[in-house]
Amino acid sequence: MKTILWLIAAYAAFVSQAALVPRLPWGDFAPDLLLVVACCAVFANAGWRGIAWAAAIGLLGDCLAAGPLGIRMGALTLIAAVVAMWRDTGPRRSPIGLLAASYPSLIAVLTIETAVGAWFVEKGIDLRAIVEFAAARAAGSFCVLIAVVACGAIVHRASRLSPWEPRGHSPRW
Amino acid sequence: MASSPKSNLIAASVCSTVAIAFAFAPGSLRDAVRGSVRDAALPGERVVAEWADRAAPLAVHGRDRLIAFVAPRATAESLSSNNSTESILMIESQRRIRALEAEVARLRDELDRRQGDEAAAFPARPGEPLVVPDLLAATVLGEEAATLWRAGKLLDRGTAAGVSESSLVLDAEGPLVDQGQDSGLEAGQPVFAGRTVLGRIARVGHWTSTLQLVTDPQYRGLARIVRRSERGVAYGPQGILEGDGGELCRLKFVDATAAVAIGDEVYTDDLEGLLPEPAYYGRIVAAELKPGAAHWEVRVEPAGPPREPREVHVLRRVANPARFAP
């Protein structure tokens, strides 16, 4: 069931990234919805499952980009592995810490992806411009990620409340 | 499988190996994977695009209400980015003003010439020109359609049937328009969005062509400054407009003796009178004359359309059919 939900989330993010995000006036801060879903997948799935989801969603992101395949997949795998080892091997990490760590992770993924893509097409690499671009896109993605996490927390909290039960009544006779 | 550092390492190694294999995989495999994923997503993309189109008027209305609430005295620049009726009217009126300014400058120039030695001694009857302009409307292919076209997904009959697109067009990265050699397009033909110069045709394929925008470093075009003086709007000095690869253009070879001011408008000057009025390039946003320099260093902000254009016009030169009529 959980796997199907993640598949639906990845599909929705892919479709929205292709058809919806370019229509909205985000400017340089256009979010990358696939990265947002990848972050959520790494948060929600500990260990190798998170890494596998990150890699699969990264491959979807590669299909959406114009460059060669495998770049985002590799970058996301690398970052997800680091996050998984940091989370699983040390003391228990707080969700806030994980969320805070996602912003530099987003910048790292976007920087690696853009730099390797630029190297592949032989355009020359202006690292400062690439980092600025990655930071802007990561900021947009981070805002969407916070919104998604907040919505998820509200839904999770609501689902843990005791269900309403109708007050019983005793028969008159 | 339980989560452990070893399992994490194995998963990361496997996924990294797959990623590297994809990166160095042959182009046919990459195209097949990419095409399959995009084909699977196409129905969803259509649904989302339809919803977005339906919701667009509501979003524009909401944005207008928000702007009116936050900034009641919105500037003309901020309004020009809106899609509301008021902003569309404002953009249209700005275009009209620019067209009128160009017309005034042209008439003043003609008046000066007629008052000088170029005036004919007797009234002349205008002759039919041999070459007349012909504006061809072309649609700019969206990102998705351009990707599919370049991947060969829209035209899959293959080279054997003689229907493959030119690799010059497929390998180029610029925006694609849906007209090519079959419509008489040639490289170098100017491309307009309304009365504004968007760029020119860079590479021509059989059915599609690529655009070279005015901001492209390879773009060059003759331009003329139109400035406001005490006598009103008048033609100023000539120069060569070239892209700088960013958001601005450079106007080069403007003589140091000429008067240049920030805010002056820049129009085309190389269309050989084919169009009834010059087309608009943009506005001067910076002008500097260094000590001892022979030319001004002028930066021009290209006008361009407020949003990515869906339809552009390509200026072709065709033989005047009136001259060949029996």
Q: What is the DSSP string of B50-74?
A: HHHHHHHHHHHHHHHHHHHHH-TT-
How far B193 CA lies from chain A's nearest CA (Å)? Answer: 19
* Closest chain A residue to B1, measured at CA: A48
What is the three-class DSSP state of B190? strand
Q: State residue B200's pLDDT score.
A: 86
CB contact under 8 A, B19 and A89: no
| Cβ separation B18–A23 shorter than 8 A | no
Nearest-CB residue to B30 (from A19, A49, A69)? A69
Residue of A8, A49, A63 to mutate when probing chain B, most B C-beta within 10 A: A63
Nearest Cα neighbor of B254 from B239, B276, B235 is B239
Whether B8 and A84 lie within 8 Å, measured CB to CB: yes
B73-99: b or e for each residue (b if 16 or more CB lie within 10 Å)? ebeeeebeebbbeebeeebeeeeeebb
Phi, psi of A61 (to 5 degrees): -60, -40
Residues of chain B contacting residue A19, judged by C-beta atoms under 8 Å apart: 44-46, 48-49, 52, 144
Q: Give residue for tokens 């411009």.
A: A129
Tens-digit pLDDT profile for residues A46-78: 788 889 999 999 999 888 876 778 888 988 898
A43: closest CA among A138, A157, A149, A140? A149
When computed from its CA atoms, the radius of gyration of chain A, rounded to whole angstroms, is 20
Across the interface, do B22 and A63 touch by the CB < 8 Å criterion? no
DSSP state of B144: H
H-assigned helices in B151-304: 167-171
Cβ of B8 within 8 Å of Cβ of A55? The answer is no
Helix (H), strand (E) counts: chain A: 6, 0
The answer to whether the Cα torsion of B210, B214, B218, B224 is positive or negative is positive
**Upper half-sphere CA count for residue A28 (Cβ side, 13 Å):** 9
Residue B159, pLDDT score: 38
- Cα A16 from chain centre: 14
In angstroms, what CA-CA distances link B250 with B260, B269, B298, B305?
A: 14, 15, 6, 19
Angle between helices A127-160 and A95-120 (to 10 degrees): 140
CB contact under 8 A, B4 and A22: no
C-beta atoms of A18 and B4 within 8 A: no
Nearest to A85 among B5, B16, B147 (CB): B5
- Across the interface, whether the CB atoms of B18 and A66 are under 8 A apart is answered no
**Measured between CA atoms, how close is B154 to chain A, in angstroms?**
17
Q: How many residue contacts between A and B have a Cβ separation below 8 Å?
A: 114
Residue B173 pLDDT: 60
Note whether B15 contacts A22, CB cutoff 8 Å: no
Say what the ipTM of the complex is. 0.78
What backbone torsions phi and psi does residue B284 show, to the nearest 5 degrees? -75, 125
Query: Which of A52, A58, A66 shows the shortest C-beta gap to B147?
Result: A66
C-beta of residue B170 within 8 angstroms of C-beta of residue B141 = no
What are the backbone angles phi and psi of residue A135, rounded to the nearest 5°?
-65, -40
Residue type, A159: S
Determine whether the interchain pair B38/A63 forms a contact, defined as Cβ–Cβ distance below 8 Å: yes
Nearest chain B residue to A60 by CA distance is: B37
Higher pLDDT, A146 or B120: A146
CB contact under 8 A, B81 and A59: no
B190 vs A13: CA distance, rounded Å:
39
Token reading at B32: 């097949």
Which residues of chain B fall below pLDDT 50? 74-76, 79-80, 153-168
- Kindly list the residues from chain B whose CB atom is less than 8 angstroms away from the CB atom of residue A59: 19, 22
Six token digits for residue B137 = 């409307």
- Portion of chain A with pLDDT greater than 90, in percent: 9
Q: Which residue of A has its CA nearest to B9?
A: A81
Q: Check residues A131 and B274 and name the one with the higher pLDDT.
A: A131
Q: How crowded is residue A150: how many other Cβ atoms within 10 Å of its Cβ?
A: 10
Q: How far is CA A115 from CA A39, A59, A129, A134, A171, in A?
A: 21, 17, 10, 10, 75
Taking the CA of residue A81 and the nearest CA in chain B, the distance in Å comes to 6
Per-residue pLDDT, B109:
73
Written as one string, the DSSP assignment of B266-309 is EEE--STT-SSSPPEEEEEEEEE--TT-SB-EEEEEE---SS--
- Residue of B165, B179, B143 whose CA lies nearest to B312: B179
CB contact under 8 A, A60 and B1: no
pLDDT at B161: 39
Q: What was the pLDDT predicted at B206?
A: 75
pLDDT of amino acid B130: 76
Question: What are A9-31's pLDDT values in tens digits?
Answer: 999 999 888 888 877 777 778 88
Backbone phi and psi for residue B299, each to the nearest 5 degrees, phi listed first? -115, 135
Residue in A with minimal Cα distance to B30: A69
Q: Residue B17: closest CA among chain A residues belongs to which residue?
A: A74
Of the partner residues B11, B46, B47, the one whose CB lies closest to the CB of residue A51: B11
* Residues whose CB is less than 8 angstroms from the CB of residue B76 and which lie 6 or more positions away in sequence, other chains included: B90
- Rounded (5°) CA angle B128-B131-B132: 85
Name every residue in A having a CB less than 8 A away from some CB of B: 11-12, 14-16, 18-20, 22-23, 25, 46-49, 51-52, 54-55, 58-60, 62-63, 66, 68-71, 73-74, 77-78, 80-81, 84-85, 88-89
CA torsion through residues B28, B43, B208, A118, sign: negative
Pick A122 or B27 by higher pLDDT.
B27
Residue A11 class from Cβ within 10 Å (0-12 exposed, 13-18 middle, 19+ buried)?
middle
Supply the pLDDT for residue A11. 92
Q: What share of chain A is helix, strand, coil (3-state, %, to 5)?
A: 75, 0, 25
Instruction: Please tell me which residue of chain B has the smallest CA distance to A55.
Output: B15
**Mean pLDDT to the nearest integer, A108-119:** 78
Please identify which residue in the block is written with the tokens 């958001």.
B247
Provide the whole-model pTM: 0.47
CA distance A92 to B205: 60
At A9, the amino acid letter reads A
